[in-house]
Amino acid sequence: MKYDLVIKNGIIVREEELTKADVGIKNGKIVEIDIFINQSEANHTIEADGLYLFPGVIDSHVHFNEPGRSEWEGLATGSKSLAAGGATLFFDMPLNSHPPTTTEEAFHQKNEIAKEKSIIDYRLWGGVVPGNLDELEKLARCGVIGFKAFMSNSGIEDFQSADDRTLLLAMKKIAALHSILAVHAESDTITEFLGKEINSQTENIGLAFSNARPIFSEIEAVQRIIAYADATKCKVHIVHISSAQVLKPIVEAKQRGIDISVETCPHYLSLTVDDLEKLGAVAKCAPPLRSKQEVDNLWEAIAKDEIDVIGSDHSPSLPSMKNGNLLEAWGGISGCQTSLSVLLEEGYWQRGIPLETIAKITSTNPAKRFGLYPNKGSVSVGSDADIAIVDINEKFTLKQEDLFYKNKLSPYIGKTFRGRGKVTISRGNVVYSAMEDSQTHTSI
């Protein structure tokens, strides 16, 4: 047979246009895109009339916690959850696994588990912590996608935040390695100082928590890391900003020639501090949720092409860690399975954000930023056959039993979305399908 798989009559979503065409796949690659491909020349076909073919989501920010904390989430359940949400590639953060990925030995330990258990492609982040500077070159040789550092308390004892001297020395070395530093940018001094003032508060605790990790804490840390990037010529990626106010120094830095990119997350584009008050710890994260106006402002920034990447920051935990006092509960949101649905509902349907833009920030941009394009991030001839087939019109209410997470916690349970993944294809293999038998003739 000429093709292993042909997808018929789908609408291809690229960063620059929508195109209706057939897609031919062979040996894990897209080998032909044409108005008509004869399905008799294919081993398998999928009828995608009325459906949209997005490049597979690249989730550059997940915590799958294996080895060491696999009871929180594992690479099998985590990758299956991503596949159900249209993702075909993820970058796993160096924490919250134990040991964290801060040494060559720890990298190999995690990598062996990932090779065995992940059902989609993956890359691993290395970590920057005080005392591991000699490991950075070794981790780079292992093939880490980049390095991650915290400018504030990570919440994990064995992954300490990086002091200013550690950051500068690490950034000089990372620049020499032609790699990139991802930064959790909150001022540790500010958040620690303000956090002490809310320990005795019992009312409006969600708002108090948000105010204790204020937007200006993010801005201060971002300004500092930009200065360090200028001094060291290190590429920097700012993760999970919670407010468009944080963008001002980043946009200005880009204009000055600083090599910097920025990420936000679906929860900052859909949930507010009111949701934190209502839902409690299941919606707790750092930086915290903000106001409805901040949500709208972030969408305006996306429309202006000021945000480069969307990452889920899927940071799961045991249910017991989300009980009790909000201030003491684990700070992390489980959301990797629902990212694309959130963006379609909140972005495309509610605000008119083009589908091309959603494809760009979820797949094409991260592929380009991390040196994986055009193998990844595009539905194009020659690219890996990483495709999310999506019904953008399908309306559904998320139920707990829909989730593939090891611990089925989510602030989105009970929420209604328009836009659902029907089939996910990773390197030509169907890794998830919710299609009717009449629509697909694949060996799912």
Whether 333 and 279 have beta carbons less than 8 Å apart is answered as: no
Both structure tokens of 312 = 């889920």
- Count: domains in the chain: 1
On whether residue 344 sits in a domain, the answer given is yes
pLDDT for 291-308, tens place per residue? 999 999 999 999 999 999
Cβ atoms within 10 A of the Cβ of 240, count?
24
Alpha-helical runs (H) found in 124-256: 136-142, 164-176, 188-195, 205-212, 215-232, 247-255
On whether residue 250 sits in a domain, the answer given is yes
Give phi and psi for 107, each to the nearest 5: -55, -50
> Residue 16 class from Cβ within 10 Å (0-12 exposed, 13-18 middle, 19+ buried)?
exposed
Q: What is the pLDDT of residue 404?
A: 98
Q: What is the pLDDT of residue 252?
A: 98
Whether 249 and 223 have beta carbons less than 8 Å apart is answered as: yes
Peptide bond before 96: cis, by omega within 30 degrees of 0?
A: yes
Q: What CATH number did the domain enclosing 271 receive?
A: 3.20.20.140
Q: What is the pLDDT of residue 336?
A: 98
Q: What is the pLDDT of residue 438?
A: 42
Between CA 120 and CA 88 the distance in angstroms is 5
Q: What is the pLDDT of residue 196?
A: 85
On whether residue 13 sits in a domain, the answer given is no
Q: What is the pLDDT of residue 375?
A: 98
> Residue 436 class from Cβ within 10 Å (0-12 exposed, 13-18 middle, 19+ buried)?
exposed
Between CA 68 and CA 269 the distance in angstroms is 31
Tokens 């330990």 sit at which residue?
Answer: 109
* Residues of the domain holding 196: 56-369
On whether residue 163 sits in a domain, the answer given is yes
Tokens 């249910």 sit at which residue?
Answer: 319
Whether 218 and 250 have beta carbons less than 8 Å apart is answered as: no
Q: What is the pLDDT of residue 202?
A: 63
Residues of the chain under the 70 pLDDT cut:
199-202, 436-444
**Gap between the terminal Cα atoms of the chain:** 19
Between CA 278 and CA 206 the distance in angstroms is 9
Q: Is the dihedral of CA 55, 60, 65, 66 positive or negative?
A: positive
Nearest to 398 by CA among 411, 381, 387: 411
On whether residue 96 sits in a domain, the answer given is yes
Between CA 274 and CA 144 the distance in angstroms is 38
On whether residue 342 sits in a domain, the answer given is yes
Q: What is the pLDDT of residue 226?
A: 98
On whether residue 98 sits in a domain, the answer given is yes
- CA distances to 4, 106, 153, 179, 208 from 197, rounded to whole Å, are 62, 38, 17, 39, 9
Q: What is the pLDDT of residue 442?
A: 44
On whether residue 34 sits in a domain, the answer given is no
